[in-house]
């Protein structure tokens, strides 16, 4: 399905150097902020107090969040747990204050508003647990990257795999750079969004690479640059439909999902926008500079009845 069809190919690769220079500068700034400011890690990674409270009626999450924040706690996470009456509260660790003191202070404030509220459980999440979660998250990220490279190398050719993984890591680092620069809270849900962006970006790269492969088969007289420009131009309508519909859903979470989904949706929004950019101007351009050509995707089969001087003899895709 296409909303429109562009008859003349857009010369994307003509401006590949400029766009990739912008990408490199953005990437370098993201790395700089990651090392200079670091990520503002949530309670899951740094440790803190986790409380579960229960109400006799549906809980007002925003009101609870404001009540707890008014006690002087920063980076408080409040969300429904299981049903609308159960609420989970995560409090960051504070020096000189024990878990029991934190929970007593919070419960006193909550009971002042609703005497029927009950404390279901309270526990301390130590820094060692957070460190283990961080390590597991990095392992998951590494496994995804390796899996994508293996998949693309088998489906296409190693040059495509290298180009796609550079473009996808470019998206991931820029997302992390945004979170480091603005000191937005980096939680497990944001890590899940980063992994989702990896899969989403590689899907767009695969679509473009598939069209490049088809064009190499279909257009024997086109140059590599013309092949890539045609592939990107012919998939623009599909890109607008898929990314546009996805972005509408993500923006709805960003605007109406509340604080619990805000940073998750924000990471997805940044990732989707840069994913489109990287698939077109980074992955395709790097593949071009690595020297992709028709022969990379062609299997040569010798046939007795063919002229050996024919350059296209026995070539099949």
Please write the tens of the pLDDT for every residue from 120-160: 888 887 666 667 777 887 787 788 778 877 887 787 788 88
Q: 116, exposed or middle or buried, with CB in 10 Å at 0-12, 13-18, 19+? A: exposed
| Separation in Å, CA 267 to CA 70, 204, 224 | 27, 18, 34
Residue 2 is predicted with a pLDDT of: 58
Reading the block at residue 60, the tokens are 């007002």
Task: Determine phi and psi for 49, rounding to 5 degrees.
Answer: -105, 135
Residue 300 is predicted with a pLDDT of: 44
Residue 34 is predicted with a pLDDT of: 93
- Provide the whole-model pTM: 0.78
Give pLDDT tens digits for 251-310. Answer: 999 998 877 789 999 999 999 888 888 888 888 999 899 888 877 665 544 444 445 555
**48-125 belongs to CATH 3.40.710.10:** no
Q: Bigger pLDDT: 231 or 151?
A: 231
**Rounded mean pLDDT, 33-50:** 84
Report the alpha-carbon distance of residue 237 to residue 162 in Å, rounded.
26
Q: Where are the domains of the chain?
A: 12-39+129-299, 48-125
Homologous superfamily of 12-39+129-299: Multidrug efflux transporter AcrB transmembrane domain (1.20.1640.10)
What b-and-e string marks burial along 170-185, b requiring 16 or more CB atoms within 10 Å of the CB? Answer: bbbbbbbbbbbeeebb
Residue 127 is predicted with a pLDDT of: 63
Residues with Cβ < 8 Å from 226, sequence gap 6 or more?
Answer: 9, 219
pLDDT reading at 12 higher than 80: yes
Contact between residue 125 and residue 94 where contact means Cβ atoms under 8 Å apart? no
Report the alpha-carbon distance of residue 64 to residue 53 in Å, rounded.
11
For residue 4, what pLDDT band results from cuts at 50, 70 and 90? low
């Amino acid at each position: 399905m296409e909303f429109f069809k562009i008859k003349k190919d857009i010369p994307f690769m003509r401006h590949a150097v400029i766009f990739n220079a912008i990408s490199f500068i953005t990437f370098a700034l993201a790395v700089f902020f990651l090392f200079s400011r670091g990520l503002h890690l949530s309670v899951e990674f740094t440790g803190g107090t986790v409380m579960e409270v229960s109400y006799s009626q549906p809980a007002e999450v925003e009101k609870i969040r404001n009540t707890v924040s008014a006690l002087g706690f920063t980076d408080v996470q409040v969300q429904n747990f299981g049903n609308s009456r159960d609420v989970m509260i995560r409090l960051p660790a504070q020096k000189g204050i024990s878990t029991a003191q934190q929970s007593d202070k919070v419960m006193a404030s909550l009971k002042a508003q609703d005497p029927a509220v009950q404390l279901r459980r309270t526990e301390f999440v130590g820094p060692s647990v957070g460190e283990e979660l961080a390590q597991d998250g990095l392992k998951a990220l590494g496994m995804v990257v390796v899996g994508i490279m293996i998949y693309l190398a088998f489906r296409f050719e190693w040059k495509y795999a290298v180009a796609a993984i550079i473009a996808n890591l470019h998206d991931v680092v820029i997302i992390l750079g945004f979170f480091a620069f603005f000191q937005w809270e980096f939680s497990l849900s944001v890590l899940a969004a980063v992994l989702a962006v990896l899969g989403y970006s590689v899907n767009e790269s695969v679509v473009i690479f598939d069209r490049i492969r088809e064009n190499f088969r279909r257009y024997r007289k086109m140059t590599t640059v013309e092949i890539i420009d045609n592939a990107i131009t012919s998939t623009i309508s599909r890109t607008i439909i898929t990314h546009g519909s996805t972005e509408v859903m993500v923006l709805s979470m960003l605007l109406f999902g509340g604080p619990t989904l805000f940073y998750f949706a924000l990471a997805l929004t940044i990732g989707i926008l840069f994913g489109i950019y990287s698939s077109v101007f980074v992955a395709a351009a790097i593949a071009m500079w690595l020297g992709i050509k028709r022969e990379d995707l062609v299997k040569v089969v010798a046939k007795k009845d063919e002229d050996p001087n024919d350059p296209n003899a026995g070539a099949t895709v």
